[in-house]
Amino acid sequence: MKARWLYLAVIFSVLVSTLTTGQFQQADFIAVNVSNSGVACLDEDSCRPSVVAQSGDVFVVWTEEDADGTLSTVRFSRSDNEGDTFTAPTTIAEASGFNPKNVSIDLLANGDLILVWADDRNGNFDIFVTLSNNEGSSWRWDSSNPVLNLTSNEGDSLAPTLDTGNMDTFVVAWSDDSEEDDLNPDGARNIFVRAGRADDASLTETFNVSRGFLSTVRFPADRPALAVNPNRPLRSMFFAWEQEGNRFNDIFFHQTSAFNPINISNSESAQSENVVLAVRNPLNLSDIGIGQQVIAVWQERVSGETQIFLNTAQEGDLVLTDPGFGKASLNLSQAPRSASSPAIAINEANQFFIAWHQEDPDVRNRNIVRLVSVVDVLGLAQEVSSNDENFSFTNVALAADANNVYILLLEKNLSSNTVDVLFTRQEIGNSGL
Per-residue pLDDT tens for 31-42?
Answer: 788 988 777 776
pLDDT at 259 over 60: yes
pLDDT at 76: 95
Mean pLDDT along residues 264-280: 83
Mean pLDDT along residues 110-118: 94
Q: CA-CA distance, 56 to 400, in Å (whole number)?
A: 9
Q: Which of 65-69, 80-84, 113-117 has the lowest mean pLDDT?
A: 65-69
Mean pLDDT along residues 296-323: 72
Closest by CA position to 118, among listed 87, 153, 88: 153
Q: Which of 70-74, 197-201, 306-310, 323-327 has the lowest mean pLDDT?
A: 323-327
1-15, 101-115, 290-304, 334-348, range with greatest mean pLDDT: 101-115
pLDDT tens, 214-225?
454 467 889 999
Mean pLDDT along residues 151-176: 89
pLDDT at 27: 37
Categorize the per-residue pLDDT at 377 as very low, low, confident or very high, splitting at 50, 70 and 90: very low
Kindly state the percentage of the chain with pLDDT values over 90.
28
74-88, 234-248, 273-287, 320-334, range with greatest mean pLDDT: 74-88
pLDDT tens, 409-427?
888 887 877 888 989 888 8
What residue ranges do the domains of the chain occupy?
1-33+332-433
Q: CA-CA distance, 260 to 245, in Å (whole number)?
A: 14
Go through the chain and tell me how many residues it has. 433
Q: Of 361 and 338, which is predicted with more confidence?
A: 338
Give the mean pLDDT of the chain.
Answer: 76
pLDDT at 174 over 80: yes
pLDDT at 44: 65
pLDDT at 364: 60
Categorize the per-residue pLDDT at 369 as very low, low, confident or very high, splitting at 50, 70 and 90: confident
Kindly state the percentage of the chain with pLDDT values over 70.
71
61-65, 87-91, 386-390, range with greatest mean pLDDT: 87-91
pLDDT at 126 over 90: yes
pLDDT at 336: 72
Categorize the per-residue pLDDT at 137 as very low, low, confident or very high, splitting at 50, 70 and 90: very high
pLDDT at 374 over 70: no
pLDDT at 42: 63
pLDDT at 17 over 60: no
pLDDT at 150 over 70: yes
